Structure 1
Amino acid sequence: MTNLFTVLDALGLLLLCFYTVQMTLAALVPKPRRTATPDPDLRFTFLIPALNEARVIEATVRNLRRVSPQGRVVVIDDASEDATAALVAALAGADPQVWLLRRRLPMARQGKGQALNWASEEVLRRLRAEGCDLRREVLVVIDADGRIGPELLAEARQALGDPAVMGAQARVRIRQSVGGWQWRTLVGRMLEQQQDVEFFITRHLQVLRSHWHTAALCGNGQLMRASYLAEQFARGVSPWPDVLLEDFGSGLEIRLAAPGYRLAFLESAVNQQGLPNLRRFTRQRARWTQGTLQCLPYLGRLWRTPVPLLARLDFSYFLLSPWFNVLIVLTLLTQPLRWATETHGLLLAPAIGLTVSLLNAALQLNWLVRYQLENRLSAGRLLFTALSFPVYGFALFLSLPLAFKNHFTGRRTWDKTARHAEPDAAPPPAPLEVTAASSGD
């Protein structure tokens, strides 16, 4: 038993070292300079997968048409039961740049990836019929609650000015719920806040990955060159694989398709609603983790394909991360058994144990300070953000066993993320002051 605990502790300590190195590099490494000339001839087609999105779809379509007057907006209705299709049909009737593509049961509701593959094939057919140059056509995936500004497209023109860049990912920001909060909504507001902190940290990781061109595609704000999509379909390969993490898988497909293909990260943001509900948040993160588990077979292809070493290591670390997290959780959960059986694992000197604890605290403090510097939080909001970390960590802890349970029992349901109605002209993401207002979410 002691040997088992020793192995667990040693692996946990090694993973902590990897995590520390990764977070330190993410905090310190500057973003790479772009040298490509912006391509003014790029044209954007926005793909919006939509299932029961009547609460938000009109505002999203209008936002995209304002930001990109020359672009197209394609809404993929996935057999909605609400007024989504009717609302988009009305917009399409008044604006030829708005297209409505409708999927019907039983083919519909098979997941976001399948909807995107089906719709992009139809879009490519129409683009070819119009005589478009697919090298200068870019498909942009936007969630039904997504909002962007013109700066995103300007940055995309420069990033995709490099002909080797086949895909790009925008930064993601979380819009906080409007209004005050009650005690019953406190946990939800904490989760919303931490989701923005999480994407803030992800932004730094994406900058780090940009140095070896492996920026992860995250779905909302995902850009892909139409010529690459056409190549994949011609080879009989679906650009978005049939997994619950189809966006990450689509980035892997790009890097594995050809040695010279690259992925880029865009600092300009797409902002979206958060999930202010513990149960829904836990189910979403379980789906993400299960999707990562489904992507594990990519590991073999990754090491058989001529991809740069750092790119291989980066992707491999992500693909194995659910299993690494299990090791860390087992290290924590076996503590009562160790106490009961009076057995020990890896014995560390008190000074080393204290150093490890302080190092972990310092990493969290680093991101809190950096988040504060970017967002200029009030003292109350800063304290609220700090107190939210344990709530977020607890939610992630709950999602891990659920993900493994779903994976090994064969449950592959694509859980729909629910939205809430909000004003058409949603403000950019900014921290919400914590007040004792009486109104709820």
Structure 2
Amino acid sequence: METVFRLIEGLGMFLMALYLIYSLCVLLVRRRTSSPPERPLRFTFLIPALNEAAVIGATVQNLRAVAPDARVVVIDDASEDHTAAEVESLARQDPAVTLLRRRLPHARSGKGEALNWGVTQLLRLGLLPGAPLTEQVLVIFDADGRLDEGLLPEARRAFADGHVIAAQARIRVRQGGVTAPGWRGGLGRLLLRQQDLEFYVVRHIQLLRERVHTVGLGGNGQFMRVSYLAGRLEEGQAPWPPVLLEDFASGLEVRLTNPRHRLVFLESGVSQQGLTDVRRFLRQRARWTHGNLQCSPALARIWRTPMPLGARLDLTYFLAQPWLSLLTLALLLYYPARTVDHLVSGTVNWPLTVQLMALNLSVPLLWVRLYSRENRLSPRQAAFAALGMPVYLLIMTCSVPLAFRNFWRGQHGWVKTARHAEA
């Protein structure tokens, strides 16, 4: 039995070493400073919307104000509220705003299918005039998104490289909208802060992934060259695969379709609402993990397609995340029980225990320090972020079994994230 315990603990040490090495690489990477000239491009914002009446008006107005030369196209996915009426009202006042409506029973089949349908309609109806398709870029935008003023100029510089097919903007989570009193309000604010901190870490991961051209697309602030999308549709291939993680899968298809295709990360970004309810948060993260599992068959193509070894390892590591998280959850159950056993028998190796705890805490605390410095948090806010991280990670870990259960049962449906109106 002791041999089994040693194997389990050896696995734990391996996972911790893998995490620390990857974290060190992410922390050390620096953004490249090259700044090519901007290329004339036509942008079209494509917003899939299902029951978004509370936020869609403000989002469209934000886009028209910040990007007056761009078009805004909203795909109403058979909403039951006043989403379509809200957009129609804006479209009557502004010819740069267009509403596309899906009807049941073909609607509400997922965000990816709504986007595939929307792009098909734009091309079929000739709604993208004014420039060759190679000079047109679609920007996938969430119904609660807000655009940074510097994002489109940065995208024009990035897409000056003809090999750049897609790009992902940095995402931030707006802090606000928590109205619940007492501990529920405190938990809601903790979730908001931790989601923004998580996307801060993701920003650094994206900088590392940009070095091997494996930047992950994240749905909100996702740029796609229209000529690529048109080519995929002509070949009978859906640009957004039918999985719950359609944004990442679409970027993976870009990378696997042609070894010369590049994906880049844009430092300017978009902001969006965060989730303040634990149940909705668990459901969202379970959906993301579930979608990751659906992408697992792509592993064989990753190792067959010509690309640098670093790109293969990065994509493999990403697709292995659900399984690594499941192992981590099992170890979280094992180590407390093993510790109690050592305490009872008096065989605790205290120096090693303290060193391992210090290593495990060092990386999260460093992220909190860097995040706090960038966002100019007060000492109290920084302490709140640091103390909230273990709670947040525990909540995220709890979503992993739910994702595996849904995946193994073949329950591939999804529940849309609800949003709230903002002042």
Q: Does 1:116 align with 2:115?
A: yes
Residues 1:186 and 2:186 aligned together: yes
Distance of 1:25 and 1:19 partners within structure 2 = 10
Q: Give the number of equivalent residue pairs.
A: 418
Aligned 8 A contact 2:43 2:139 in 1: yes
Q: Write the mapping of 1:314-329 to structure 2, written as runs, cut at 5 A.
A: 314-329=314-329
Question: Matched residue of 2:52: which SS?
Answer: coil
User: Which whole-Å deviations, capped at 9, do the CAs of 1:44-91 have from their partners, x for residues lacking one?
Assistant: 000101000000000000111111111110101011000000110111
- Residue 334 (structure 1) shift: 2.8
Quote the offset at 1:125 in angstroms.
2.8
1:20 aligns with 2:14: no
Query: Quick check: 1:147–1:271 contact (8 Å CA) kept in 2?
Result: yes
Q: 1:11 touches 1:327 (CA, 8 Å); kept in 2?
A: no
1:348 Cα offset (Å): 9.8
Q: Which deviations, in whole Å up to 9, do the C-alpha atoms of 1:108-147 show, x marking residues without a partner?
A: 1111001011101112234477363011100001100000
Identify if the C-alpha distance between structure 1 residues 179 and 326 changes in structure 2 by more than 3 Å, giving closer, same or farther.
closer
The residue type equivalent to 1:105 in the other structure is L
* Alignment of structure 1 residues 42-81 onto 2, 5 Å: 42-81=41-80
For residues 286-435 of structure 1, the aligned pairs below 5 Å read: 286-335=286-335, 350-423=350-423
CA shift at 1:181, angstroms?
6.3
* Aligned amino acid, residue 69 of structure 1: P
1:165 aligns with 2:167: no
- The answer to whether the 8 A contact 2:23-2:363 is kept is yes
Q: 1:348 to 1:404 in 2, by over 3 A?
A: farther
Instruction: After TM superposition, give the deviation of residue 394 of structure 1 in Å.
Output: 2.0
Offset of residue 7 of structure 1: 2.9
Partner of 2:132: 133
- SS at 1:33 equivalent: coil
Deviation of the 1:352 alpha carbon: 3.8
Which segment is superposed worse, 390-399 or 136-145?
A: 390-399
Cα RMSD (Å): 1.9
Separation (CA, whole Å) in 2 of partners of 1:383 and 1:121: 49
**Structure 1 contact 166–228 (Cα < 8 Å) conserved:** yes
Query: AA paired with 1:67?
Result: V
Shift of 1:233: 1.1
Q: Where does 1:202-213 land on structure 2 (aligned, <5 Å)? A: 202-213=202-213
Q: What TM-score, normalized by structure 2, do the two folds share?
A: 0.94
Mapped partners of 1:360, 1:129: distance in 2 = 51
Residue aligning to 2:146: 147
Give the secondary structure class of the aligned counterpart of 2:139: strand
Q: Quote the Cα distance in structure 1 between the aligned partners of 2:43 and 2:225.
A: 9
Is contact 2:168-2:218 (8 Å) kept?
yes
- Return the letter of the residue paired with 2:45: F
Q: Would the aligned equivalents of 2:178 and 2:188 in 1 still touch at CA under 8 Å? A: no
**C-alpha distance in 2, partners of 1:65/1:122?**
22
Q: Paired residue for 1:93?
A: 92
- Residue of structure 1 in register with 2:103 after alignment: 104
Structure 2 counterpart SS, 1:81? coil
Residue 390 (structure 1) shift: 2.2
CA distance in 2, matches of 1:122, 1:348: 66
Amino acid in structure 2 at the alignment position of 1:65: R
Instruction: Report the residue type matching 2:60 in the other structure.
Output: V
Q: Distance in 2 between matches of 1:36 and 1:125?
A: 34
Length-normalised TM-score, structure 1: 0.91
CA shift in 2, pair 1:128/1:370, >3 Å:
same
Contact kept, 8 Å, 1:213 with 1:262, in 2: the verdict is yes
Q: Which amino acid aligns with 1:364?
A: P
For residues 357-384 of structure 1, the C-alpha deviation after alignment (integer angstroms, 9 at most, x for no partner) is: 2111110111011011101111221222
